[in-house]
Amino acid sequence: MRRYLRVDWRAGLSLVGTLLALLSLAFVVPILVALAYGGEDLWVFVASMALTAGFGVALRRLDSEPKPGAREAFFVVAFTWLFAAMFGALPYVLAGNGTVAYPVNALFESMSGFTTTGATVMGDISFDTHSRAIMMWRQATQWLGGMGIIVLAVAILSQMAVGGAQLMEAEAPGPGISKLTPHIAETARVLWIAYIGFTALLMASLYALSVVAPELAPEMNLYNAIAHGFSTLPTGGFSTEARSIEAFSPAVQWLIVPFMFIAGVNFVLWWHVISGDPWELLRDNEFRFYLGAISLFSLVGTVILFFDASLQTPPTGQIGGHFERSLRYSVFQITSMTNSTGFANMDFNEWGHSAKALLLFVMFIGGSTGSTGGGIKILRWLVILKSLRREVFTTIHPEAVRPVRMNGQPLDEDAIRGIYAFTLLFLGLFFVGFLLLSADASRLPEFNPHTLDLLTASIATLGNIGPGFGVVGPMGSYNGFPVTSKLLMVVYMWIGRLEIFPVLVLLTAAYWRS
Amino acid sequence: MRRYLRVDWRAGLSLVGTLLALLSLAFVVPILVALAYGGEDLWVFVASMALTAGFGVALRRLDSEPKPGAREAFFVVAFTWLFAAMFGALPYVLAGNGTVAYPVNALFESMSGFTTTGATVMGDISFDTHSRAIMMWRQATQWLGGMGIIVLAVAILSQMAVGGAQLMEAEAPGPGISKLTPHIAETARVLWIAYIGFTALLMASLYALSVVAPELAPEMNLYNAIAHGFSTLPTGGFSTEARSIEAFSPAVQWLIVPFMFIAGVNFVLWWHVISGDPWELLRDNEFRFYLGAISLFSLVGTVILFFDASLQTPPTGQIGGHFERSLRYSVFQITSMTNSTGFANMDFNEWGHSAKALLLFVMFIGGSTGSTGGGIKILRWLVILKSLRREVFTTIHPEAVRPVRMNGQPLDEDAIRGIYAFTLLFLGLFFVGFLLLSADASRLPEFNPHTLDLLTASIATLGNIGPGFGVVGPMGSYNGFPVTSKLLMVVYMWIGRLEIFPVLVLLTAAYWRS
Ligand SMILES: [K+]
Ligand SMILES: [K+]
């Protein structure tokens, strides 16, 4: 076989095996939680750890000295997420509780975790049905996924020139970080310091608030602080509470907002800030656009909610006419839905048409490049807007030559075309996903989602957001979908997270043979 | 003023005036119809003719020797359609019958006519409410709009390099047809021969069928033959029957199909066929893709309808299991919705989810460049698909240089980028239109369209298709929308028809001053 394929698939699988073996160490987290809470589901995680490590080690044997090249990177990236999702699903199946015990549901929940999507098929999100260890594992999959995404985005996709990703601000301080294979570990170390640091800061802040001012955070405790720290920085959106962040006090909601915002920023910029050059952040065009978009849409949302007198939401009561509530619900939801976090501090299905239209709009924006956010991403929209402005100008002045600039540098036209191609492909997949979900939904007469629910289900999975509207709303569930739809959405979460092209090239004959 | 503006707006308006004066001659058609049917509404059209001619002549006086250049072309194109719609609305207001007597509704109906959209706000489509002359004027506006579109597409947009339109097959036989101003009249003459010829052939065929075999076409007569000849070749979709083409027999429906198909093909290719080179048609990549897409989707639709046993549609009865009906409904609707005609031979709201999803999908395709069809258009999708394939290839082989080819010629990269830009802008406007219609719909509590209705209202107006789903279905009406939504859709029909950029440049300071 090896002679006929140009791809060194043995080397690729061997590297995937190494990464799976490393991933198996992560089961230590739920094992510790199980031990702390009387040992429930302890065997589940020990068994999962053993199976994952065993499979990883077996894969490693395919090639004892793997030398994966640039071409194998596509392979490694695609299969790492796929296998991580499959082995991460084991605990749900082995524990055998609730809807996630069914293999397809378990795979959905696990893929949703590792892709930091946050869409759930868990029927009953409570400790009545699931152990503390299982619920913490669900949160931890998002945090692990986020670690992978940062490295993927900064060190790998930018080198693959996938969909214009080469334009990303990927120059972290320190030597040679822009070269692929030899320096991945170095890049990872630098960015993970920021990622781990912010996570620890959020966990500590939430816990400190619950200890210092328990009256301000009655529902917060160490377990919840850790659980939500795990799902905020990866723009994950899983919660151990059925009502997401609505379960917590306004003080906790406000505390989470800046960390959600941080999660949607290129971590290379945070590394600049940490290493003493905060101005790099404010000079960056993508950051300024991200900050501007979230500020503008939060303001618009606040005005809409403030003047919507009909909005009644027990237990929080009237929003219309109440400034702090209008501001809090708007800022929280706009930040959460723009950068693909997917947390909710209320059921926004209750909002009026205008406010919902605004939320639907921002769902198509996405996070920054080099962040854990999903979707089309800020940088691409910024390049598209600048390029469209130029297109109008050159329609009037066909002779004019005007480069599109980003951070002062003229952009390569190939990169601009790559960004257009990615964006159209993303929107095309979103639309096809919506059509397939629509056609598939009609197979189940008792499952009657609205068109808008299906539209948002497609973008919420492909864009790794999590919740949408209606049945897939923030307090809802993807459990009602037919199995075929669930499998489609598993694929959508996977390819959306990997920015489509790494999976797409695997489907071409040119990749394997030429 | 003139010294400060680089645009010679006087010359532009003068030319618009000339075109309006010519347009006033078209009122002869409804005047003849009024005379044939007892003189009802005769004064309406005489008055409309006088007002239009008077305004046109007045505008001409702004510049007695207009020398409009390339820049003024944007201005002339945008204002010609706007003024045509405004003066074409006069008869509806002056006749004073039904919903279209209200000025905004009259403008909507007239813009829908001249842009060949076919969306209607006419509450009662029947001769009980409206005169034969008014109904024929409504049909004639589409045919006049189609005449304008062919010249616009082939002679003007392709020279403006709007959204990649420079790639169009615009080389008609005959000397120098590719140069702008001096040869517009020549290009127009050549293409109008084809347009007028196909229209006359359809009218004659329909009428001949009703005379020779009245049992095969019981509802057809001379009036209906002329009326539907007027709205087929411009991919218009207006009908004098409330139930569109469902009002006619299967024989009539089958007869209309090839003419609908013809209307979506680049008329330059028809000129080649007429002048003795039919192979030019089959060699053209865009035509082959158009033929292939309609064949494929018609086949898929036939299969879906055939196996949908639940489909009951009085008066036509069962479709599922009936081959001719499945084929006829599928071929007719797929052709009609793909190339933006918008005719219906049944209320496709009754179709199942899968068949409706297919229809929704093809609504985003559009006609060929140089045809009367609207939307994103076949050529652009073909270039995008080829470019995406290359993008995947260069992701694997970053060093490879592979031009995208069309009809064997390598394409200019600027044109490819222009096509991406146009398509994304079109899709962006579609989405924003949907959001604005959604927010606006909530102002009228008694108006409760589904999300899908609003989605299709946006694409059906921007893409000049006409009908959508639900309340805006083929047997429905746009009359229920708030006035603000109607005005938005008037603008959408207008900018969609002109391929966006000619209107967009008018909104920039660079157009007027630099
Ligand atoms: K998420
Ligand atoms: K139409």
- List pLDDT tens digits, range A407-464: 888 988 888 998 999 999 999 999 999 999 998 988 888 888 888 899 999 999 999 9
For residues A497 and A464, is the Cβ–Cβ distance under 8 A? Answer: yes
A341 CB-near residues (< 8 Å, 6+ apart): A118, A232, A235, A236, A237, A260, A263, A264, A335, A373, A465, A466
**Which helix (H) or strand (E) segment is B13 a member of?**
helix B9-24
* pLDDT over 60 (residue B314): no
Mean pLDDT confidence for A180-193: 72
- Please name the residue ranges forming H helices in B157-312: 158-160, 184-212, 222-232, 250-263, 267-274, 279-283, 285-306
CA-CA distances (angstroms) from residue B431 to A360, B353, B438? 10, 22, 11
Candidates A420, A481, A508, A512, partner chain B, best to mutate (most B CBs within 10 A): A420
Rounded CA-CA distance A401/A419 in Å is: 20
- Whether the CB of B430 is below 8 Å from some CB of chain A: the reply is no
Confidence category of residue B65, pLDDT binned at 50, 70, 90: confident
Mapping DSSP to helix (H, G, I), strand (E, B) and coil, where does residue A409 land?
strand
Kindly calculate the radius of gyration of chain A based on its CA atoms and give it in whole angstroms: 22
**Domains in chain A, number:** 1
Alpha-carbon gap, residue A251 to A87, rounded angstroms: 37
From A119, A115, A135, select the one nearest A234 (Cα to Cα). A115
Average pLDDT, chain B: 89
CB atoms within 10 A of CB B243: 16
Q: For the residues A150-155, what does the mean pLDDT come to?
A: 81
Q: How confident is the model at residue B183 (pLDDT cuts 50, 70, 90)?
A: low
- What per-residue confidence (pLDDT) applies to A374? 94
Window from A259-263, B105-109, B320-324 with minimum mean pLDDT: B320-324
Can you give the pLDDT at residue A428? 95
* Cβ partners under 8 Å of residue A215, min gap 6: none
- What is the spatial distance between Cα A97 and Cα A93, in angstroms, rounded to a whole number? 8
Q: What is the mean pLDDT of chain A?
A: 89
Question: Which residues, listed in sequence order, are joined to residue A317 by a DSSP beta bridge?
Answer: A313
Ligand closest to the CA atom of residue B337: 2
- A116 occurs within a structural domain: no
Q: Which among B387, B505, B510 has the least Cβ separation from residue A421? A: B387
Compute the nearest-CA separation of B420 from chain A (Å). Answer: 6
Which of B498, B504, B500, B480 is CA-nearest to residue B119? Answer: B480
Q: How many CB atoms lie within 10 A of CB B159?
A: 19
**Nearest chain B Cα to A430, which residue?**
B361
Q: Is A365 helix (H, G, I), strand (E, B) or coil?
A: coil
> Does position B224 have pLDDT exceeding 80, yes or no?
yes
User: Does the pLDDT value for residue A167 go beyond 70?
Assistant: no
Q: Which of B504, B511, B501 is nearest to B160 (CA)?
A: B501
Among A399, A454, A381, CA closest to B161: A399
CA A349 to chain centre: 22
Residue A426 in domain: yes
Residues A376-382 have a mean pLDDT of: 95
C-alpha B68/C-alpha B267 separation (Å) is 26
Q: Identify the pLDDT of residue A274.
A: 87
**Residue entry with tokens 């009909």:** A310
Interchain CB contact of A35 with B (< 8 Å): no
Confidence (pLDDT) at A162: 64
Please answer whether residues B90 and B115 qualify as being in contact, where contact means their C-beta atoms are separated by less than 8 angstroms. no
Residue A252 near residue A345, CB atoms below 8 Å: no
Residues A114/A494, Cβ–Cβ less than 8 Å: no
More confident residue, B494 or B393: B494
Residue A439 has its nearest CB partner, among B357, B417, B425, at B357
pLDDT-based confidence at residue B185 (cuts at 50, 70, 90): confident
Question: Looking at beta carbons, which residues of chain B come within 8 Å of A387?
Answer: 417, 421
Tokens 């699988």 correspond to what residue? A13
Find tokens 């015990």 and name the residue.
Answer: A101
Identify the pLDDT of residue B42: 96
Report the distance separating Cα A403 and Cα B363, nearest Å.
Answer: 35
| Beta-carbon count within 10 A of A339 CB | 31
Task: Report yes or no: A122 and A89 within 8 Å, Cβ to Cβ.
Answer: no
Q: Which of A492, A268, A290, A283 is nearest to A371 (CA)?
A: A268
Asked if B511 reaches chain A (Cβ–Cβ under 8 Å), the answer is: yes
Can you tell me the distance from the alpha carbon of A398 to that of A378, in angstroms, rounded to the nearest whole number? 29
CA distance A173 to chain B (A): 27
The answer to whether residue A158 sits within a structural domain is no
Residue A480 lies in a domain: yes
Q: Which residue has the tokens 């991933």?
A: A23
Q: Cα dist. A237→A107, A226, A256, A492, B341 in Å?
A: 17, 14, 11, 17, 45
* CB < 8 Å from B in window 65-124 of A: 71, 74
Q: CB contact, 8 Å: A388 with chain B?
A: yes
Q: Which amino acid type is present at position A381?
A: W
- The DSSP secondary structure of B354-405, one letter per residue, reads HHHHHHHHHTTT---TTSS--SS-HHHHHHHHHHHHHHHHHHH-TT-----E
What distance in angstroms lies between residue B116's CA and the mean position of ligand 2's atoms? Answer: 5
Query: Out of A171-175, B60-64, B255-259, which region has the weakest mean confidence (pLDDT)?
Result: A171-175
pLDDT score of B210: 94
Residues B408-446: pLDDT tens digits? 889 888 889 989 999 999 999 999 999 999 989 888 888
Q: How many angstroms separate the Cα of A491 from the Cα of each of A85, A238, A453?
A: 11, 19, 19
Quote the pLDDT of residue A199. Answer: 97
pLDDT for A165: 67
Percent of chain B with pLDDT strictly greater than 70: 92
Q: Taking CA atoms, what residue in B is nearest to A304?
A: B439
A20 within some domain: no
Query: Which run of H or E residues covers position A410?
Result: strand A409-410
- Number of other CB atoms surrounding residue A279 within 10 Å: 9
Q: How confident is the model over A225-241, as a mean pLDDT?
A: 96
Candidate from A388, A432, A508 with C-beta closest to B421: A388
Q: Tell me the C-alpha distance between A327 and A426, whole Å.
A: 32
* Contact status, residue A386 vs residue A409, Cβ threshold 8 Å: no
Instruction: Give B453-459 contacts, CB < 8 A, sequence gap 24+.
Output: B455/A451, B455/A455, B455/B360, B456/B360, B456/B363, B457/B433, B457/B481, B457/B489, B458/B430, B458/B431, B458/B433, B458/B434, B458/B492, B459/B363, B459/B364, B459/B430
Which 3 state secondary structure label does DSSP give A406? strand
Q: Is the dihedral of CA B62, B65, B66, B69 positive or negative?
A: negative
CA distance B141 to B29: 10
| Percentage, residues of chain A above pLDDT 70 | 92
The residue among B300, B349, B391 with the most chain A CBs within 10 A of its CB, best to mutate, is B391
User: Of residues B469 and A191, which shows the higher confidence score?
Assistant: B469
Radius of gyration of chain B (CA): 22
| Residue B187 reports pLDDT greater than 80 | no
Mark the residues whose beta carbon lies below 5 A from ion ligand 2.
Answer: B 118, 237, 340, 342, 466
Whether residue A442 and residue B354 make contact (CB cut-off 8 A), yes or no, is: yes
Mean pLDDT of A489-503: 94
Q: Give backbone dihedrals phi and psi of A464, rounded to 5 degrees, phi first.
A: 55, 40
CB-based contact, B448 to chain A, within 8 Å: no
Is A331 part of any domain? no
Contacts of A164 (CB under 8 A, 6+ apart): A379, A380, A383, A415, A416, A418, A419, A422
pLDDT greater than 90 at residue B176: no
DSSP secondary structure letters along B207-249: HHHHHH-TTT-TT--HHHHHHHHHHHTTT----SSTTGGGGS-
Residue A287, CA distances (Å) to A268, A360, A369, A469, B227 in order: 11, 22, 10, 28, 58
Q: What is the pLDDT of residue B497?
A: 95
Q: Which residues contact A74 (CB under 8 A, 6 or more apart)?
A: A160, A502, A505, A506, A511, B396
pLDDT for B154 equals 76
Whether residue A2 lies inside any domain: the answer is: no
pLDDT score recorded for residue A173 = 45
Closest CA to B359 of B371, B368, B351: B351
Range of the domain at A476: 404-513
CATH number at residue A466: 1.10.287
Average confidence (pLDDT) over B60-83: 85
Confidence of residue B170 (pLDDT cuts 50, 70, 90): low
* pLDDT exceeds cutoff 70 at A394: yes
Nearest to B244 by CA among B146, B106, B118: B118
CA distance B32 to B56: 22
- pLDDT score recorded for residue A240: 95
pLDDT at B514: 57
CB A376 within 8 A of CB A426: yes
DSSP string, B80-106: HHHHHHHHHTHHHHHH--SGGGSHHHH
Choice between B484 and A394, residue whose per-residue pLDDT is larger: B484
pLDDT surpasses 50 at B178: no
Using pLDDT thresholds of 50, 70 and 90, give the confidence band for residue B20.
very high
Give the per-residue pLDDT at B24.
Answer: 96
Q: Would A505 be classed as within a structural domain?
A: yes
Report the distance separating Cα B437 and Cα B432, nearest Å.
8
Write down the pLDDT at residue B320: 77
